[in-house]
């Protein structure tokens, strides 16, 4: 189903594990702060709703979406976190800058997922306009930050399950 027809924060039918004892870093971009603040709040609220203690959630701010990869890498290298969520928003403009930023951060987060043993969750909006971003940051389509938090809990559980199988 297309995301423009579905509330992204509806987790009915999904098994979201309890996050008690998990330590999560949320790296959020300052750029488009109206949107990233809403995404960040959605992520933090969802983590707490699913048992992650507030003291086990660390928020790190970076200047923009391009810097999310480095912020996530630093969080991973600290060895303190079970998962890292990156939060950003890139809105299409009149130049190709949008394409370069989206491609770079997507590849960077993919590379981190392959290199480290803790999941890095992509909570970056890449929209055509501000309205689309608002709709996905607590508006009529839910909150992509909340979805990213639920995904983080699921992926930590997947990793832990598979490591126990060894």
Q: Which residues are catalytic?
A: 97
Taking the CA of residue 164 as centre, how many other CA atoms within 13 Å lie in the half-sphere pointing to its CB? 6
Where are the strands (E) in 7-141, listed by range?
A: 24-29, 57-62, 83-91, 120-127, 137-139
CA dist 97 → 85, 91, 103, 128, 133 (Å): 23, 10, 10, 13, 18
CA–CA separation, 22 vs 154, rounded Å?
11
- Alpha-carbon distance of 53 to 30, in angstroms, equals 24
Query: What's the rounded Cα separation, in Å, for the pair 81 and 25?
Result: 6
Q: Which of 99, 101, 121, 100 is nearest to 110 (CA)?
A: 121
Q: Phi then psi for 28, rounded to 5 degrees?
A: -120, 140
């Amino acid at each position: 189903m297309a995301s423009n027809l579905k509330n992204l924060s509806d987790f009915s039918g999904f098994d979201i594990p309890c996050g008690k004892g998990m330590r999560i870093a949320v790296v959020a971009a300052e750029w488009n702060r109206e949107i990233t603040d809403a995404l960040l709040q959605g992520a933090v609220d969802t983590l707490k709703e699913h048992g992650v203690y507030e003291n086990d959630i660390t928020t790190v701010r970076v200047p923009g979406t391009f810097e999310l990869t480095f912020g996530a890498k630093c969080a991973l290298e600290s060895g303190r976190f079970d998962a890292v969520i990156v939060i950003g928003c890139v809105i299409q403009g009149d130049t190709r800058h949008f394409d370069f930023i989206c491609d770079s951060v997507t590849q960077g987060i993919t590379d981190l997922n392959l290199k480290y043993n803790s999941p890095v969750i992509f909570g970056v909006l890449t929209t055509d306009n501000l309205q689309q971003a608002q709709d996905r940051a607590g508006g009529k389509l839910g909150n992509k930050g909340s979805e990213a938090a639920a995904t983080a809990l699921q992926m930590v559980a997947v990793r832990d399950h598979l490591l126990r199988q060894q």
